[in-house]
């Protein structure tokens, strides 16, 4: 969830160093007299006139009584790529899920589908994290309905290239908003968090594979903003002994729900530099790009192209869910999440051709400044801590999942989306 707010204001492929939640800008929807509230209906997505953003209800207000073993989990950025998969998993596991998202980079279709899955176990708040007063009111409203067991914080802008051109956006959206969120959590006694961090905090390490003890030397503003957010959480856990956090530093996320219920819905109106390698491969396969460019073919790797670690979104979500069991009060724990194996860009393109059945044109270009030759994880720490083992490690199969979703949603984020309406930050 890009929570920067209005007042806060062709990518080629050698270095898909990091992929995090595709999540959401300031979007609050109100009538002339105030915000609408009411349960979201699965049929039309909102129970009101879907053609008008002004008539979209702000939240689902009625959660049914819980049963033994059920938890209430808040998911920020739950309309985005990873967040929507996480919310679906939690709902399918029988838990209650409340999503906080403002839909500027997320997809409202995800909210509709989550409502259809969770019914009265699902709630949605259209909220921008940088609106501290409104965030306070939302937490007060959530707590009045049901205590919160833990919160997963995916909400963030997540484009390395964009962070170079607009670094202030990233320090506000990623770092400052995390501080606002944790402050509000503490006020309302919500002390358990799982944080969506990134391998970008390591920068361009010389020793591979990357362990949790690898020095964090971020290069991009995106990586630095994540690193600083980690420091916020580490220092908060030291000073507030009831607060515990798990920080998951994940690598490149690919794939989609194998059953076709959720997938990545990129904003195709964004500059090509903001598209990930999989999106660009698919756009090339559909003919929207006339070729694919590999940046850098003279790296010290077996085939001369960059090597990256790709983790399937379903496995990544599993790591989040299992990590919730080891949150410890007063501690900030951190884990790498990757498969522990790297694929070169050439290998990725070959797998993409196999998944799509299209032999798209590929051209070679020069290296980009700052590109690391190899980045992949040593995931032994998280495997030992929560008995986590990635199950979807075949690159072609993962891209086949993504391709199936992409073909059925060719407009990306715009498909089924409503035009954002920027309103006042009133009470929910």
Tell me the CATH number at 246: 3.40.50.720
Confidence category of residue 270, pLDDT binned at 50, 70, 90: confident
24-33, 52-61, 159-168, 234-243: range with highest mean pLDDT:
234-243
Confidence category of residue 100, pLDDT binned at 50, 70, 90: very high
- Of the candidate ranges 25-34, 123-132, 312-321, 417-426, the one whose mean pLDDT is the lowest: 25-34
Whether pLDDT at 8 is above 70: no
Q: Say how many C-beta atoms besides its own lie within 10 A of residue 19's C-beta.
A: 28
Whether pLDDT at 9 is above 60: no
The residue-averaged pLDDT of 385-407 equals 96
Q: Which two structure tokens, joined as six digits, stand for 31?
A: 């009538």
5-9, 54-58, 387-391: range with highest mean pLDDT:
387-391
269 or 236, higher pLDDT: 236
Residue 157 is assigned to a structural domain of this protein: yes
Distances (CA, A) of 203 to 17, 227, 305, 344, 376: 9, 10, 18, 18, 12
Is 222 an active-site residue? yes
Whether pLDDT at 420 is above 70: no
What pLDDT is stored for residue 55 in this prediction?
31
**Mean per-residue pLDDT over the chain, rounded:** 83
Whether pLDDT at 419 is above 50: no
The residue-averaged pLDDT of 186-215 equals 96
What pLDDT is stored for residue 428 in this prediction?
47
The count of domains in the chain is 1
Residue 423 is assigned to a structural domain of this protein: no
What pLDDT is stored for residue 26 in this prediction?
28
The residue-averaged pLDDT of 245-260 equals 96
Residue 57 is assigned to a structural domain of this protein: yes
Kindly tell me the burial class for residue 102, based on how many C-beta atoms sit within 10 Å of its own C-beta (0-12, 13-18, 19 or more): buried
Whether pLDDT at 39 is above 50: no
Residue 286 is assigned to a structural domain of this protein: yes
Distance CA 146, CA 115 (A): 18
Whether pLDDT at 14 is above 50: no
Q: Which domain holds residue 330?
A: 53-414
Confidence category of residue 69, pLDDT binned at 50, 70, 90: confident
Residue 396 is assigned to a structural domain of this protein: yes
CA nearest to 340, candidates 308, 368, 378, 302: 378
328 or 274, higher pLDDT: 328
Residue 41 is assigned to a structural domain of this protein: no
What pLDDT is stored for residue 60 in this prediction?
43
Residue 428 is assigned to a structural domain of this protein: no
What pLDDT is stored for residue 311 in this prediction?
98
Residue 277 is assigned to a structural domain of this protein: yes
Whether pLDDT at 297 is above 50: yes
The residue-averaged pLDDT of 255-260 equals 95
Beta bridge partners of 334: 247
- Of the candidate ranges 30-44, 61-75, 86-100, 148-162, the one whose mean pLDDT is the lowest: 30-44
The residue-averaged pLDDT of 26-49 equals 28
Catalytic one among 222, 289, 310, 343? 222
The percentage of residues in the chain with a pLDDT greater than 90, rounded to a whole number, is: 69
Distances (CA, A) of 40 to 29, 47, 49, 264, 297: 14, 6, 12, 22, 50
């Amino acid at each position: 969830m890009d929570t920067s707010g209005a007042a806060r204001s062709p990518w080629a492929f050698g270095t898909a160093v990091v992929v995090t939640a595709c999540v959401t800008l300031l979007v609050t929807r109100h009538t002339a007299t105030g915000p609408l509230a009411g349960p979201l209906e699965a049929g039309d997505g909102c129970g009101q006139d879907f053609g008008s953003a002004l008539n979209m209800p702000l939240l689902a207000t009625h959660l049914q009584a819980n049963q033994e073993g059920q938890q209430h989990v808040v998911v920020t950025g739950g309309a985005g790529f990873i967040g929507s998969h996480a919310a679906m998993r939690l709902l399918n596991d029988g838990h209650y899920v409340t999503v906080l998202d403002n839909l500027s980079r997320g997809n409202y279709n995800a909210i509709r589908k989550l409502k259809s899955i969770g019914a009265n176990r699902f709630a949605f708040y259209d909220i921008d994290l940088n609106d501290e007063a409104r965030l306070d009111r939302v937490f007060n409203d959530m707590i009045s309905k049901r205590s919160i067991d833990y919160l997963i914080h995916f909400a963030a802008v997540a484009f390395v290239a964009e962070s170079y051109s607009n670094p202030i956006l990233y320090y506000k959206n990623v770092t400052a908003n995390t501080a606002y969120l944790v402050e509000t959590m503490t006020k309302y006694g919500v002390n358990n968090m799982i944080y969506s961090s990134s391998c970008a905090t390591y920068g361009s390490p010389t020793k591979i594979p990357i362990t949790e003890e690898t020095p964090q030397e971020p290069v991009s503003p995106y990586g630095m903003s994540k690193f600083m957010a980690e420091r916020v959480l580490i220092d908060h856990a030291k000073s507030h002994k009831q607060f515990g956090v798990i920080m998951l530093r994940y690598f490149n996320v690919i794939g989609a729900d194998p059953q076709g219920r959720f997938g990545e819905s990129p904003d195709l109106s964004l500059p090509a530099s903001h598209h990930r390698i999989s999106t660009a491969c698919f756009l090339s396969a559909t003919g929207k790009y006339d070729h694919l460019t590999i940046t850098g073919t003279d790296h010290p790797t077996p085939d001369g192209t960059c090597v990256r670690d790709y983790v399937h979104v379903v496995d990544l979500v599993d790591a989040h869910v299992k990590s919730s069991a080891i949150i410890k009060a007063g501690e900030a724990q951190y884990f790498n999440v990757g498969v522990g194996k790297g694929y070169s860009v050439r290998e990725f393109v070959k797998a993409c051709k196999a998944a799509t059945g299209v032999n798209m044109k590929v051209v070679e270009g020069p290296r980009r400044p700052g590109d690391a030759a190899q980045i992949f994880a040593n995931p032994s720490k998280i495997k030992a801590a929560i008995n986590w083992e990635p199950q979807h490690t075949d690159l072609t199969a993962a891209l086949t999942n993504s391709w199936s979703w992409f073909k059925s949603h060719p407009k990306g984020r715009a498909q089924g989306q409503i035009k954002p309406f920027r309103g006042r930050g009133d009470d929910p």
